[in-house]
Amino acid sequence: MTYEDLPAELTVECDGPVRIVRLDRPAELNAVNRSLHWALANVWQRLARDPEAKAVILTGAGRAFSAGGDLGWITSFLDDPVARDESLREGAQIIEEMLRFPLPVIAAVNGPAVGLGCSVALLCDVVLISETAHLADPHVAVGLVAGDGGAALWPLLTLLLRSREYLYTGDHIPAAKAVELGLATRTTAPEDLLPEARRLAARFAAQPAEALRGTKQVVTMYLSQALAGPVQAGLAAEAATMRSPEHRARLLALADKAGP
């Protein structure tokens, strides 16, 4: 199995039975642009068809896991409803593909995991997070419903009262707090993150494949059933807020602040 036809923004490294998937826009903190979004929606079927793959590590190149949506790409949705709707369709596809993916996936959160980046990390089976990293979902702060994961997923991982404050404000959740809340599995020193992810992936890969796949399928069934309604409602609500004057104003203000 080769992965050369994927966009350059997403790379797949083969390490024996382990596949290391990297969000690879380090200069942009792995912000998700059109190509990377498409790749995140389509890589999981490729990996599932890889006969030698037994476990997957998902991480970011450089100093971030993912800064969320690329500002330029998201701003283009304001006047391009076709691209906006396509991004929502692909967003649903990312969630669906990750939930049905049969192999264990370890998120190695090496830096900030924000917005969609946070949602993708939390859809993994194990979330290892660097002590210097943080999570955040700032959808509301830019006038959007956190429909592509946060609002639907977080309440299944932590208590409602613990998740609401962070979802409503978009505040950063430091690594240790993320573990305390149940939004990450455990912290590691930055230099130990990828080695620890590789060690754990190797352990998963050495397990009896059928038993491991069946166990993941049963565990994930709870998430799939619980998320079905909230994700559908959340994406519809996010689509509505994408057309709101407040979102337009806040997004354009961010774009002006970011500059050319």
Interval 49-88: pLDDT, tens = 999 999 999 999 999 999 999 999 999 999 999 999 999 9
- Check if the beta carbon of residue 38 is closer than 8 Å to that of residue 7: yes
Boundaries of every domain in the chain: 10-190
* pTM of the predicted structure, to 2 decimals: 0.96
Torsion sign (Cα): 158, 159, 164, 166: negative
Rg (CA), the chain: 17
Nearest C-alpha neighbor of 9 from the set 31, 19, 20: 31
Residue 54, phi then psi, degrees to nearest 5: -125, -20
Residue 260 has pLDDT above 70, yes or no: no
Record the tokens describing residue 127, joined without a space: 């979330």
Tell me the percentage of the chain whose pLDDT exceeds 90: 86
- Check if the beta carbon of residue 227 is closer than 8 Å to that of residue 152: yes
The CATH architecture annotation of domain 10-190 reads Alpha-Beta Complex (3.90)
Record the tokens describing residue 103, joined without a space: 């192999």
What mean pLDDT comes out for the span 1-29? 95
Residue 159 has pLDDT above 90, yes or no: no
Residue 201 has pLDDT above 90, yes or no: yes
Give the DSSP letter string of the chain.
Answer: ---TTS-TTEEEEEETTEEEEEE--GGGTT-B-HHHHHHHHHHHHHHHT-TT--EEEEEESTT-SB-SB-HHHHHHGGG-HHHHHHHHHHHHHHHHHHHH--S-EEEEE-S-EETHHHHHHHTSSEEEEETT-EEE--TGGGT---TTTHHHHHHHHS-HHHHHHHHHH---EEHHHHHHHTSSSEEE-GGGHHHHHHHHHHHHHHS-HHHHHHHHHHHHHHHHHHHHHHHHHHHHHHHHHHTSHHHHHHHHHHHHHH--
Record the tokens describing residue 32, joined without a space: 């998700």
| Mean pLDDT of the chain, nearest integer | 95
pLDDT at residue 150, as a whole number: 86
Record the tokens describing residue 95, joined without a space: 């969630």
Residue that is written with structure tokens 């429909």 in the block: 147
